[in-house]
Homo-oligomer: A and B are copies of this chain.
């Protein structure tokens, strides 16, 4: 029987940290003994617990403590991280520490260094000279880089539920189902976006083709015009639908104003061809080929456009990053300072974005498929709102809210 003492700090009860830690201990067949527990008497107070964890073998204890750390447990004796060199470009040492999407610190040379940027499913590379640490993907690492191995000296600080309910994200944190009301939440979301805009935070949209197909492009344009969109993440097909709709008034040959005829792919491909011939979105705006629509609004209002490719793409439209590793690099950079993300009707792209967000970013996911919403929202459980609904009325209502609130001012 071996044991180690861990400590938990913060809102460990109402952020479910203590229960999760105890649950993990029991699930792993280990035992615990609570040495001390102090629970904050008032909302804003921090709580504290010291727990002795014991397991059969030191391997089992090690494995368990690794998990507990990911829930924010700290081991008492503060040791430095262990490091190993990357054996080749793009390869980590075999026992590399795998990051979570929580704020993370490493202890090196007796000092704590915050891992910046933090990102899920990465290794941690230490820059000994600069005394800095960053989350690295396979493509970031070069032979010889110093990478954290094991879990000693790593401290994780889970996002904790705020004790002062200032915004909607801390108030609710689950999925609003199809048969539940959404108007009040959309209104609150509007308020949150207004505050974010005033505070010059960065708001991003991840946009799926259904926005254009359902006739919601105009609503998104209103958000862009009102300054509520700083970055637009989309795929090749979103752009193709937007351009087709702008040039021909159709989506896959279907007229959204009547929806009575279902056409083919001709207009879709011609739209792509037109943009390729023009030399890209910006050129098409400059040449007055594109005079309406979401992409036009983005160009006009300096929205940063981040376009990435997928295996089903036609084209591609110039400006789309077709190599997915390159695309991930660009996305990661463009997401680094984003504080609010609305993920609209595009599950794969949303999951990719969600895996690159900073620990504190707030997300809203809208999709008509409840399973899709669940999967996206899981990524950031305490800062995400999921709405199971049609994207068109959602965007209409949000754009209405935000124009009203403008008028009110």
Contact B138 A178 (CB under 8 A): no
Give the complex CA separation of A176 and B393 in angstroms: 15
Chain B contacts for A27, CB-based, 8 A: 261
Give the oligomeric copy count. Answer: 4
A interface list, Cβ under 8 A from B: 13-14, 16, 18-19, 22-23, 26-28, 31-34, 37, 39, 41-43, 67, 70, 87-88, 90-92, 94, 96, 98, 100, 120-121, 137-138, 163, 171-172, 176, 178-185, 209-210, 213-215, 251, 254, 256-261, 264-266, 268-270, 272-274, 276-277, 308-316, 322-325, 327-328, 331, 345, 348-349, 351-352, 355, 368-371, 388-390, 392-393, 396-397
Whole-angstrom distance between the Cβ of A118 and the nearest chain B Cβ = 15
Contact A314 B259 (CB under 8 A): no
Give the complex CA separation of A390 and B214 in angstroms: 13
Contact B184 A259 (CB under 8 A): yes
Among B180, B251, B388, contact of A254 (Cβ-Cβ < 8 Å): B180
Chain B contacts for A209, CB-based, 8 A: 179
Of the A-B pairs whose beta carbons lie under 8 Å apart in the complex, a sample of 16, sorted by A's number, is: A14-B26, A33-B42, A91-B276, A91-B277, A94-B273, A121-B268, A121-B314, A138-B316, A179-B214, A181-B215, A310-B311, A310-B348, A311-B328, A312-B352, A369-B371, A390-B390
Contact A269 B98 (CB under 8 A): yes
Give the complex CA separation of A22 and B14 in angstroms: 6
Whole-angstrom distance between the Cβ of A137 and the nearest chain B Cβ = 8
Whole-angstrom distance between the Cβ of A78 and the nearest chain B Cβ = 23
Chain B contacts for A328, CB-based, 8 A: 311, 313
Whole-angstrom distance between the Cβ of A400 and the nearest chain B Cβ = 11
* Nearest 3 interchain pairs by C-beta: A393-B393, A179-B210, A181-B256
Given the known A-B contacts A14-B22, A324-B313, A325-B309, are A260 and B172 also in contact in the complex, defined by CB atoms under 8 Å? yes
